[in-house]
Structure 1
Amino acid sequence: MRNQGAVHRTFTGHHMLIAMASFFAVVIGVNAVMATFASRRWSGLVVEDTYVASQEFNSKAAAMRAMAATGISGNLSLSRDGIHYDVKNRDGSPATVQDVTLTFRRPVGDREDFQLALTKKSEGRFEVEHHVRSGDWIVEIISRNKDVTVMHEAVRIDMADFGL
């Protein structure tokens, strides 16, 4: 016996249209949200002008090789509220340096980037009191004697490694 109250439904073109429109609305919505998050988190900018950067590459690489040949090395250390940087000659003696500048950059994004000038405590020893937030940082260190760059290096650090 058939139930007289049962309604027989069929899948029509209108149902297919609603299903397709819903599917593409979800895909487009997710893409829009992800694109918004990506554009707010990272500028995507590595260099201002890639052509100029490519033209300067060889001269910068030669300068870095010459700097490495001098044997001068640096050691960056961080504590809870202090940053220390030691600059030494090849033989371990303190290097003659007048000023050291640190530039802290996040690997992704530039909203939290900052620069610090360290204070000279003794020959080859520089310090500054500053709290660095936890997370990954790329620290660019430039040591100068007068207007000559003595040491230029970049170090990637994870502040979680320091228990901070």
Structure 2
Amino acid sequence: MSTATKQRSPKRGFTGWHMVAVMSLFFGTVISVNLVMAWNASRSWSGLVVENTYVASQQFNGKVAEGRAFQASGIKGRLTTEPGAIRYVLTRNGEPEQKIDKVIAVLKRPVEEHEDLRVELHPRGEGAFVLAEELKPGQWIAAMMAMAGDAVVHRQTIRFIAEGRDK
């Protein structure tokens, strides 16, 4: 009887090369996601909140006082949107405001500035002002300024969502 010894190949377990592959895939994924997110962030955010933070901090108390004066005047504004139009209605103590002759709106996106608009709404009676403008769907911020002659009598900032037209 002859006995032949069989040579077994050594079991290949988890080797150093496997670890290198796992680490490379993990960090490659993390770095790729970070690059994509950084690219999206740099394209969609202007990065500018105020031109000069020191000057803005000095103006803060004045803006708070102005806001309190507007609130004490009793004037309230309500913004409604529909496809193709923006409507802003001003009331004082529940009655339509008659003294305001002009409303200026600065419409802007929360994180982008290339779609910003500065427009004047047209009076439609009974304290209502309308803009026949089609806004792109999505979130908007409207900085509304109501004027009587050259004096600003009401200022309001409203965040809203513009709906798109049904296709």
The TM-score, its normalising length taken from structure 1, stands at: 0.80
The structure with the largest alpha-carbon Rg is: 2
Contact 1:74-1:88 within 8 A present in 2 as well? yes
Contact 1:72-1:95 within 8 A present in 2 as well? no
Output aligned runs, 1:59-74, within 5 Å: 59-74=62-77
Q: 1:102 aligns with which of 92, 100, 105?
A: 105
Residue 79 in structure 1 maps to residue 82 in structure 2: yes
Where does structure 2 lack aligned partners over 5 or more consecutive residues?
none
Residue 114 in structure 1 maps to residue 117 in structure 2: yes
Corresponding letter in the other structure for 1:148:
A
Contact 2:82-2:162 within 8 A present in 1 as well? no
Map of 1:54 onto structure 2: 57
**49-58 vs 124-133, which moves further:** 124-133
Matched residues in 2 for 1:22 and 1:123: separation? 65
Identity of aligned residues (%): 38
- SS where residue 61 of structure 1 aligns? helix
Q: 1:126 aligns with which of 112, 122, 129?
A: 129
Deviations 1:119-159 (Å, cap 9, x if unpaired)?
Answer: 12336221121112221111111111122111110111122
Map of 2:48 onto structure 1: 45
Q: Cα distance, 1:30 vs. partner?
A: 2.5
Residue 135 in structure 1 maps to residue 138 in structure 2: yes
The 1:85–1:72 alpha-carbon spacing in structure 2 relative to 1, beyond 3 Å, is same
Query: What RMSD over aligned residues (CA atoms) do the two structures have, in Å?
Result: 2.8
Q: Cα distance, 1:23 vs. partner?
A: 4.3
Map of 1:159 onto structure 2: 162
Map of 1:150 onto structure 2: 153
Where does structure 1 lack aligned partners over 5 or more consecutive residues?
none
- SS where residue 118 of structure 2 aligns? strand
Matched residues in 2 for 1:80 and 1:17: separation? 56
Paired positions, count? 162
